[in-house]
Amino acid sequence: MRLAQIGDAPALMAEFSSGPALLAGIRALRDAGVSRFDAFTPYEVAGLQELLGLRRSRLTWIALAAGLAFGGGAYLLQWWINVIDYPLDIGGRPFHSAPAFIPITFEMTVLFASAAALISAIVLGGLPRLWHPVFEIEGFERATVDRFWLAVGVGDAALDRERDTAALVAAGALRVEWLGARAGGRP
Amino acid sequence: MNDASEPPDSSLPAPGLDRLSRRAFFRLAGAGAAAAGLAACSSRPARNILPYASQPPEVTPGVPLHYATALVEDGFATGVLVASHQGRPTKIEGNPDHPASLGATRARDQAAVLSLYDPQRARSITDRGAPAAWSAIEQLLAGARAHGGRGLHLVLEPTSSPLVIDLIERIRTALPAARLAFWAPFAPRAQLAGNRLALGRALQTQLDLRTADVVVALDADLVGDHPMALAYARQIADRRRVVDTSSPMSRLYMVESGYSPTGVIADHRLRVRPSEVERIARALLAAVIAQGGRGAPAELGAALARPAGEPREAALIAAMARDLTRAAGRCAVAAGDRQPPRVHAIAAAINAALGNLGRTVAFSEPAVFEAGQPSHDVAALADLVRAIDGGEVTALLVLGGNPAYAAPADLGLAAAIARAPASLYLGLYDNETARACRFVVPGLHDLEQWGAARGYDGTITPIQPLIEPLFGGRSVAAILHELLGDPPATDHARTQDAWARRLPGVDHAAALARGTVAGSALPAVAAEVAWSALAAAIAAPPAAAPALELAIAPHPFLHDGRHTNNPWLLELPEPATKLTWDNAAQLSPRTAAQLGVDTGDLLALTVGAAAAARTLDVPAVVVPGHADDAITLHAGFGRDGGERVARGIGADAFRLWTTAGGLSPAVTAARRAGHRELAITQVHWQLEDRPIALGGTLQQLRDDAALRDELARHRGPQPTLLDRFPAGFPTQHNQWAMSIDLTTCTGCSACVMACATENNTPVVGRGSVLNKREMHWLRIDRYLEGPSDDPVVVVQPMTCQHCENAPCEYVCPVEATTHSPDGLNEMTYNRCIGTRFCSNNCPYKVRRFNWFDYKHRDLHVLANNPDVTVRDRGVMEKCTYCVQRIRRAEIDARIADRPIGAHDVVTACQAACPAQAIAFGSITDPASSVSEQRRRPHSYAVLHDQGTAPRTRYLARIRNPGQLP
Amino acid sequence: MHSHANRLADSPMAALFPPWTNTATRVALILLAAAITAAIVTPIVYARMPFATGAGDPLLQPIPFDHRHHVRDDAIDCLYCHEDAERGPYAGVPAAERCMGCHSQIWNDSQLIAPLRASVATGEPIRWQRVHSLPDFVYFDHSIHVNKGIGCVSCHGRVDQMAAVYQVHRLSMSWCLDCHRDPTPHLRPRDQITSMTWTPASPAETAALADHYRPRSLTHCSTCHR
Amino acid sequence: MTAASELDELLPGRPDDAALSAQLLSTTSRPLTRGWKLAFAICAALTVMLFLLVALTVLRGIGMWGNNVPVAWGFGIINFVWWIGIGHAGTFISAILLLLEQHWRTSINRFTEGMTLFAVIQAGLFPLLHLGRPWFAYWLFPYPAEMDTWPQVRSALPWDAAAVSTYFTVSLMFWYLGLVPDFASLRDHAPTRRRRIAYGILALGWRGSVQQWRHHKVAYFLLAGFATPLVLSVHSVVSLDFAITGLPGWHSTIFPPFFVAGAILSGFAMVLVLILPARRVFGLQNVITPRHFDAMAKMVLITSWIVLYSYACELFVGWYSGDRYEMYQHLVNRPFGWYAWSFWLMLFCNCFVTQVFWSRRMRRSPIALFAVALLVNLGMWLERFEIIVVSLSRDFLPSAWHFFSPTWVDLGILTGTLGFFGLLFLGFLRLVPFVPVAELKQMRSELAHAPAAHASTPAEVEP
């Protein structure tokens, strides 16, 4: 079972009224052999990521790397300025005044780790992308309020449109829509 | 609510010098390459280079030349050296060869350059305010010349110039009917009259304090307000410098009412009202005679003897007499000019009785022409008024001075002058006298004219111009020549001619180069006290003191008001009160309590009674240590002329000066509704038991290990995490340091003014001073110790201490303040963004911030030192140890391939100090005076416990009080 | 408008943004990033460019004085005219009288030197355009540099090849510091100060010069700022 | 407390997703009330005044303020520290309470984050404005200058610049990240097309996909994790502006925790001052409940005790140090000096008034909360006055002591920042859903589906 993102391949879109209903829909199709899903929910649905077998985001490591790189860079810059480039006698303090270099090092670590986290969250989430095929589905706008949409079988050879539509309805879908391939443009 | 948001004082000169006159000035000044010199003053780069058309051989652009000349006040010359940047005088230093300077200057001497460039000086000849031509003056003078000078009256300032005297004598001969009066309100008159009482002749007292072990000053501010103050300050300081625990030290007694600089350094100070000084003097004479005074008739002593007064007073008089008698021949008693002639006579008698005459005290003919004669008296002015009212005056020439303002008010001189049919005023300003006169001719500043004058000791001092007259003014001599109908000639030619006639055999050029005529001091006159005449003169006991008396005193900086338009001097804190931009009635805490006033509350002072009563509203200022039941009020304020800076500030003390009451009249004071916020720069006067201004007595320094240990603690090693000099203290560079001697410092503030002139320190105005925004890099702190009504004062020059571990440096976020390898705490103005963090972290609070654009405006910019950056608004500044002088000396030494000499770097404050209380040099040179002073037992660092390792150290204030019997 | 809080507005049928907006967004973001970078980098670069430092810009002088002619052809030493360079802070521009020393004899009737004759006659200075203008707040002293072995050419360039003098170097603080941090390579013998072509014959000669002058690395602030 | 009862306290009536969205998103599109317009007009006028006074200060010089030497820092730095402190509650609530899984934070976190941002904007004005030459403020940042000069990083001011700008940036990013899903809601449901486009751009194309929520959640927690040391560090760094000096009254190792506690105290007080009227005006009694007030009042009480403890420590250490300058500062100058009134008023506001929150009734009384919160804000301003002005007015050399008094420009700028802050806040209330809709819905969903609660909440059975 894996996550598949809509974009290039056709998919079945099913509308559910709650998170648990959505999870039930996935379980029903999984039994039918469909393995590729995506979901669009107004808030995070507990258990969804686990059900789709997603591991923890690697965003943490990106943030860590950025924080260390820029924090270390900040310290090195301070050292280079004060020891190498233009050493000046400042109140009799040592050129390499390590304790005084720490606050900026810390702040730069946090700043760039945070920026990396934000940018990664946006980019890894496939954003910015103002238009997306799912926005063409009538009623999709409730995905940001109280409806939970499931996309089934994106690029999945096992997808059987009629069978799976029936299965989704049986699992509690309020509505099932066919989302054509991207080549079709706006349906 | 704070009104600090007021802009810099609007009374300061505003921009507005028109283009034409600025250009005219440059042409006149011959400052062809001025652009190069001025480049440093502007934040905008100069666009043009203007080379000389013909470069004077002595000029190297950027390198100032020094010329010797003199500044004259009340007829007495102080020799100075003036630095000129390509024809632009910028800085005044004392002339070491001149006996009245010895290299030092007074605060007001330093400020003279700003007066020179005062844009509010009189600029053109006027006739009742309307522009007039010189021909009108020629006509007036030609008319005055007729009939042998009948109806012609002249009022001059006292003069000692041989050249002017020559002219006066010619006038006396050619125009015998002309009447002359000489007037300066604070010219010394009582001393001459007193000596006439004691010696039979109006002689001038010449003190030589170099050998005086004991000095008693009877209301005589020897180191502050005296034509010879600079020399006396040096002489007294030389006898009081503590080098080690075995150093001898003279003893100084001061009897006075206000708290003068002499009172500050005195070992014993007796505060009495001015009128009581005579009582003290009489008792002292009696005691000296009783202890075996030479030549003095014992019966005189018996006649003066009186029941002992208040115990402390009696004890002090006994101690003075004891010390004086022990040091007979090596002591001196001096009386101040505010005292009546009888006190001067008594002082002369005491000196005679102690055998001081010919040793520490000598007499000479007066240096000033006709001093002590009737032409110098108030009566001469009264005669003039009578003559005007009698219609006898056809032409009145007032040449210099400002008698319409600075004379007894009941004379009605201003109104009388205005009634004179034809009158001419020659002076620097459109002042009160100018406004009373019909014609006004712009006068010449001392730095603009040729001439000569005598110092107080009589030394002839040539005067030469540093610059062409800025506003086409004329000298007194030029007017007198015109009056005599002399053919036209330049001032220079006339000066040389008169010099050759009056001083034959004295080379003018050589005198100009040296600044003095060697050996021209007036010789001592043999004089003896005529005891019987003296006894008769002082037979009557002094009149009973009034309930409250007033002392109208010359202002320490403005003198009689002649400098009141100089904003530098107005903003210089008056030493006793730290008051700026105002005068106020100084009174003791007890008298203030009795009158129900505190500092700033308004008092109505009334002199005279009934119809003749004169009242003046003036704010009170409480001065601990002032005599009770007495008020001191400085003259020079309440000006009503055309000087825009001076106008309308303070109260005119001269309005309480009557011919009957004199300068120390009985007065009544009453609290008035109202309060004036006084711009006083110090609000807290106690040390709060902090190790800042340390001190003790000579006896303690010798015998008291506790004091020596305490002082040693304040200079010893401090625990620190900082490895300041890992490779040992640097010895290859100079390491600059300063040492300031609190024992000899009088608080006269000459150093403050010298610093301001050298370093382009701006003036901020009264409003900004009220909000503690004054800009002086160097200030004189004043601390009071002991009882609040009679405290001992310690003054402490406080400026950047150039800490080795400077707290200001590490908090600057932009490296605007850093440390140089030679130990300077550098301030890079152009890097400063104005966080003011450095000021907050400076324990000495010596940093100054440009809250507004305080730069000099208008012509005043010409007083700027081109070697020092003029700071913009929004930047911090502070003492640099005169880094421009250090770097100049460094460059000169490096070029000459020699080490910097011990006297190559002299800071501006150091140069100005008459007491030589400031030493500066490198501590890597063990022989330098600063190194030597740091080894003395009473050297210490202020706030040593803060670990700042200041480079400036102080020598503790050591006093030498005697046992009181 | 919604007056009731518990109803949401309906969405129109089609998607709010057409597909091209995705590309447009990316382009806009790239442009934004480029603009921010440019805003920071441009002034940093600009400050070093000749039109900011004034380098390379010959100014129109009141007299078209040609240094090539005077220095190269006539072999007049720099210090003949700029004599104050040895003893004062300013090298100085010669007084008109100095120029007239020669020009009263040669080219004395040229129209080109009419301003010179006027200056001598009236005493009014010639208004030369300042070419070498150091940054504000700097106190530069020619005498110490000249006396300690820094040649004219080091700062002023090959004046002998200039028809009209222009500024060669940036004359900025970092440029000064380049030399102040390590003056030794710029030293020359005292008698070669005004030479436009002198170069050290060997490293040993430079070492000997360093030994002679003992130059100091002066980078603290009050060296130049007071 | 069970999840269900907590939910009932935090979200009485348990409105469903659609109702919540409709209610909370509607704050951006309701007609403008007269009260709001009036408040906005006043704030706009004050903002105009602020910028006029700023222009005056820049044109004429910093002397327009009352500062002098010795009191070289005055209202500018007081206001800076005060506003920065106010900002702290926002990050504290949104980040630290998030990490501590305090559900009550959800309804108010965006509100307080907004407050943080706008307070930091006010604060950020002052380090710039108080400079003598603000146009050179960029010298505080390292760039390859033609002068070869660099910032001097031993000073606390570059630390400040780094800390405050980092704090602002991270707060802004955190705030924005949380807003993206709600912007998407508004893109889909705002009443006009123009607004939808605007919100749509801000939403970046958010569609709530699994991948987006996955990274969003991690990033959100990461930012919360980063913001936590940050919120502690910012006021610590601000306190170092004082603590690294040698000035009696500043030179103190207690400053960082003392400042952080004070900051949180003033921040919570400001949240209360703002949220009480906002809740009433926008009818949010069901999402911002007495339970929230109770928690915030307890925070005020706790931090007020920490602050009192810090004051006591300062006094004690001042005495215990044996240092004559410290002793004078703490035992003489502050309690009995020229500005003794400010010391006692500060103690009253920050430490004594807050004791009413021992009472549960008081903790839940909007009037009591509002009154105490106002006094605490005054008291915290006075605390900074005490530290900055009172310490500087009398330091080492008695000769240099001098008073400080503000000018009308000082007072005008302080008032102006209140207006500017209000302006930004009023705009924020209109333009952005100030209760986080998606988060609240998720909280509701999680609490409702929590195992213990599940059986007893039939309401949660889907229709």
Print the SS3 string covering B633-695. Answer: EECCCCECCCCCCCECCCCCHHHHCECCCECCCECEEEEEEEECCCEECCCCCCCCCCCCCCE
Q: Diameter of chain B by CA atoms? A: 89
Cβ pair B819:A93 closer than 8 A: no
Cβ pair A92:B804 closer than 8 A: yes
Instruction: Give CA–CA dist D123/D384, Å, rounded.
Output: 13
Chain B: closest CA distance from residue D48 (Å): 20
Predicted TM-score (pTM) of this structure: 0.91
Chain B: closest CA distance from residue A86 (Å): 11
Q: Residue B259 pLDDT > 80, yes or no?
A: yes
Structure tokens at B251: 């003893």
Cβ pair D219:A107 closer than 8 A: no
pLDDT tier for residue B608 given thresholds of 50, 70 and 90: confident
Q: From the CA atom positions of chain A, what is the Rg in Å?
A: 25
Chain D: closest CA distance from residue B692 (Å): 7
Chain D: closest CA distance from residue C220 (Å): 12
Cβ pair C136:B43 closer than 8 A: yes
Cβ pair A135:C19 closer than 8 A: no
Q: What are the pLDDT digits (tens) for B422-441?
A: 999 999 999 999 999 999 99
Cβ pair C97:B55 closer than 8 A: yes
What pLDDT sits at residue B54? 80
Contacts of D179 in chain A (CB under 8 A): none
Q: What are the pLDDT digits (tens) for A42-85?
A: 888 888 888 887 887 788 999 999 999 999 999 999 999 999 99
Q: What is the mean pLDDT of residues D251-279?
A: 89
What pLDDT sits at residue B494? 93
Cβ pair D30:C5 closer than 8 A: yes
Contacts of A130 in chain C (CB under 8 A): 16-17, 21-22, 25
Q: Which of A86, A135, A145 sits opposite C16 (nearest CB)?
A: A135
Cβ pair C1:D147 closer than 8 A: no
Residue type, position B169, single letter:
E
**What is the 3 state secondary structure string of chain D?**
CCHHHHHHHHCCCCCCHHHHHHHHHHHHCCCCCHHHHHHHHHHHHHHHHHHHHHHHHHHHCHHHCCCCCCCCCCHHHHHHHHHHHHHHHHHHHHHHHHHCCCHHHHHHHHHHHHHHHHHHHHHHHHHHHCCCCHHHHHHHCCCCCCCCCCCCCCCHHHHHHHHHHHHHHHHHHHHHHHHHHHHHHHHHHCCCHHHHHHHHHHHCCCCCEHHHHHHHHHHHHHHHHHHHHHHHHHHHHHHHHHHCCCCCCCCCCCHHHHHHHHHHHHHHHHHHHHHHHHHHHCCCCCCCCHHHHHHHHHHHHHHHHHHHHHHHHHHHHHHHCCCHHHHHHHHHHHHHCCCHHHHHHHHHHHHHHHHHHHCHHHHCCHHHHHHHHHHHHHHHHHHHHHHHHHHHHCCCCHHHCCCCCCCHHHHHHHHHHHHHHHHHHHHHHHHCCCCCHHHHHHHHHHHHHCHHHHCCCHHHCCC
Instruction: Give CA–CA dist D96/D225, Å, rounded.
Output: 8
Taking all residues of chain A, what is their mean pLDDT, rounded to a whole number? 82
Question: pLDDT above 70 covers what percent of chain B?
Answer: 94
Contacts of D207 in chain A (CB under 8 A): 40, 132, 134-135, 143
What pLDDT sits at residue B20? 35
Q: Which residues of C touch D (CB under 8 A)?
A: 1-3, 5-12, 16-17, 22, 25, 40, 44, 47-48, 170, 172-174, 177
In the stretch 320-349 of chain D, residues with CB closer than 8 A to chain B read: 324-325, 328
Would you call A92 an interface residue with chain C, using a CB distance cutoff of 8 Å? no
The chain B residue lying nearest A92, using CA atoms, is B805
What pLDDT sits at residue D456? 39
Q: Diameter of chain C by CA atoms? A: 103
Chain C: closest CA distance from residue B919 (Å): 22
Report the 10 Å Cβ neighbour count for B440: 28
What pLDDT sits at residue B324? 94
Cβ pair B50:C126 closer than 8 A: yes
pLDDT tier for residue B22 given thresholds of 50, 70 and 90: very low
Q: What are the pLDDT digits (tens) for D4-29?
A: 677 777 777 777 777 777 777 777 77
Q: Which of B832, B845, B875 sits opposite D397 (nearest CB)?
A: B845
Contacts of D400 in chain B (CB under 8 A): 781, 798, 844-845
pLDDT tier for residue B364 given thresholds of 50, 70 and 90: very high
Question: pLDDT above 70 covers what percent of chain A?
Answer: 87
What pLDDT sits at residue D307? 93
Provide the ipTM: 0.91
What pLDDT sits at residue D450? 61
Cβ pair A141:C11 closer than 8 A: yes
Q: What are the pLDDT digits (tens) for B217-240?
A: 999 999 999 999 999 999 999 999
Cβ pair C130:B40 closer than 8 A: no
- Residue D275's contacts (CB-CB under 8 Å, 6 or more residues apart) are D108, D111, D288
Instruction: Give CA–CA dist D393/D402, Å, rounded.
Output: 5
Taking all residues of chain B, what is their mean pLDDT, rounded to a whole number? 89
- Residue D384's contacts (CB-CB under 8 Å, 6 or more residues apart) are D77, D78, D81, D82, D85
Cβ pair D61:B831 closer than 8 A: no
Q: Measured between alpha carbons, how far apart are the two ends of chain C, in Å?
A: 68
pLDDT tier for residue B11 given thresholds of 50, 70 and 90: very low
The CA-atom distances, in angstroms, between D438 and each of A38, B462, D30, D102, D445 are 19, 94, 20, 17, 10
Q: What is the mean pLDDT of residues D397-425?
A: 94
Q: What are the pLDDT digits (tens) for D32-51?
A: 888 889 999 999 999 999 99
What pLDDT sits at residue D123? 92
Cβ pair A136:C15 closer than 8 A: yes
Contacts of C6 in chain D (CB under 8 A): 19, 22-23
Chain C: closest CA distance from residue A122 (Å): 13
Q: What are the pLDDT digits (tens) for B180-196?
A: 999 999 999 999 999 99
Cβ pair B811:D245 closer than 8 A: yes
Q: Which residues of D touch C (CB under 8 A)?
A: 18-19, 21-23, 25-26, 29-31, 143-149, 187-191, 193, 196-197, 200-201, 204-205, 283
Q: Residue B113 pLDDT > 90, yes or no?
A: yes
Contacts of C11 in chain A (CB under 8 A): 141
Q: What are the pLDDT digits (tens) for A161-180?
A: 777 788 788 888 888 887 76
Cβ pair C40:D143 closer than 8 A: yes
* Lowest mean pLDDT across B206-215, B516-525, D287-296, D302-311: D287-296
Taking all residues of chain D, what is their mean pLDDT, rounded to a whole number? 87
Residue type, position D114, single letter:
G
